[in-house]
């Protein structure tokens, strides 16, 4: 079984009474954060950005992603994305020149601390994503969904429009190789799935359907159950949220929090996709040490410090286990319960594809 569902205790009645006040505070804090972000973000290119709500647009926050970025940008253009907005967080490699080497990309730059990335995304979505289907992705994430082999991204968005959905929930599926990272070599521009094709087929727990409020981090979730667990907890003991909402038909009343882990103000589809996550390649150990030193990720990079502690004990760490499964197809992920389809989507696929 892919997931087990834990008991969730609904919001108490006193919290429900305070909710309208919190929603006002939530919106006000996001406004202030956007204003601060706008002062620290500079647009680099001068390419025309049309007012076209028919476009599918992608938004990426990147830092030193020269290894993965060439393949991922090409991949998303081939999948049907019309325009990609890349915000570079002060990279020291060739990330910026790679982004601008593609015609329909737009490049922004900030030296702000990474902990503010939620405000960066909020600002760019409001300026350039209103009314469009938008993908909000990291450069190491590849979105898949039921029947993605034959259903284009445009056809998926058309289905979601037809069903009056405006967001797609996904499992963040950590992908890894079948040998220690020290024994692999990822080649820039190639499909990372060729070298990191394994994932955990079990050990996930569902918890926390909205509404949920995190006052201290100004986060709000009004979507489906979140997943926790997977390889990251099995290997590193890190309890991270393994759910994201990377595809949304954005409007200003929608808010994404904690990256795209939480969502507010959207009607989330009854489908579930997956984000194949290629963090764990041969540059992983070096990236971990760099982020530990910077301490700009959540909670002073505690997650990266957890990675570092395990790697220091076992530099030749192998992620493989009895619950490892090699990725084959979308139907495999649906059968395992990683992704979810629906009768309406199956009917749509049969007629449209």
Q: Helix crossing, 343-352 with 153-162: angle to 10°?
A: 130
* 271 and 145 Cβ atoms separated by less than 8 Å: yes
- Listed in order, strand segments (DSSP E) in 24-123 are 41-43, 56-62, 83-88, 105-110
How far, rounded to the nearest angstrom, does the alpha carbon of residue 195 sit from its chain's CA centroid?
Answer: 21
Handedness of CA 289, 285, 63, 119 (dihedral sign): negative
pLDDT of res. 222: 82
pLDDT of res. 321: 96
pLDDT of res. 352: 78
pLDDT of res. 215: 66
d(CA 174, CA 183): 18
d(CA 251, CA 253): 6
* 166 and 139 Cβ atoms separated by less than 8 Å: no
d(CA 290, CA 284): 10
d(CA 69, CA 220): 30
- Average pLDDT by stretches of 10, the chain with 353 residues: 56 58 84 95 96 95 96 98 97 96 97 92 96 97 97 97 97 97 95 97 80 70 89 93 96 90 94 97 91 78 87 93 97 97 95 78
pLDDT of res. 10: 47
pLDDT of res. 300: 76
* 95 and 63 Cβ atoms separated by less than 8 Å: yes
d(CA 216, CA 45): 36
d(CA 80, CA 57): 9
Q: Give the pTM.
A: 0.92
């Amino acid at each position: 079984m892919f997931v087990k569902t834990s008991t969730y205790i609904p919001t108490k009645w006193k919290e429900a009474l305070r909710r309208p006040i919190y929603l006002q505070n939530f919106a006000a804090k996001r406004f202030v954060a956007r204003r601060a972000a706008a002062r620290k973000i500079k647009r680099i290119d001068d390419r025309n950005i049309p007012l076209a709500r028919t476009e599918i647009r992608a938004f990426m926050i990147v830092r030193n992603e020269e290894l993965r970025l060439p393949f991922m940008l090409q991949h998303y253009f081939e999948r049907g994305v019309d325009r990609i907005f890349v915000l570079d967080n002060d990279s020291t490699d060739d990330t910026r020149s790679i982004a601008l080497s593609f015609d329909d990309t737009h490049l922004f730059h900030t030296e702000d601390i990474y902990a503010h990335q939620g405000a960066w995304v909020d600002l760019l979505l409001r300026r350039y994503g209103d009314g469009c289907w938008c993908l909000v992705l990291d450069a190491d994430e590849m979105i898949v969904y039921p029947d993605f082999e034959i259903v284009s991204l445009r056809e998926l968005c058309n289905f979601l429009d037809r069903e009056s959905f405006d967001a797609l929930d996904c499992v963040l599926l950590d992908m890894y190789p079948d040998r220690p990272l020290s024994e692999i070599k990822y080649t820039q521009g190639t499909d990372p799935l060729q070298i990191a094709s394994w994932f955990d087929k079990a050990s996930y727990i569902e918890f926390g359907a909205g509404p949920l409020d995190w006052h201290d981090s100004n986060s709000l979730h009004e979507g489906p159950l979140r997943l926790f667990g997977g390889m990251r907890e099995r290997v590193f003991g890190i309890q991270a949220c393994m759910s994201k909402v990377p595809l949304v038909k954005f409007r200003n009343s929608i808010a994404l929090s904690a990256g795209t882990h939480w969502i507010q103000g959207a009607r989330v589809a009854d489908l579930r996709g997956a984000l194949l996550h290629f963090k764990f390649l041969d540059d992983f150990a070096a990236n971990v040490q760099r982020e530990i030193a910077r301490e700009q990720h959540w909670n002073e990079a505690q997650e990266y410090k957890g990675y570092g502690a395990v790697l220091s004990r076992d530099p030749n760490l192998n992620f493989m286990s009895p619950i490892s499964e090699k990725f084959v197809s979308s139907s495999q992920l649906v059968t395992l319960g990683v992704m979810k389809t629906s009768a309406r989507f199956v009917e749509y696929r049969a007629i449209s594809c």
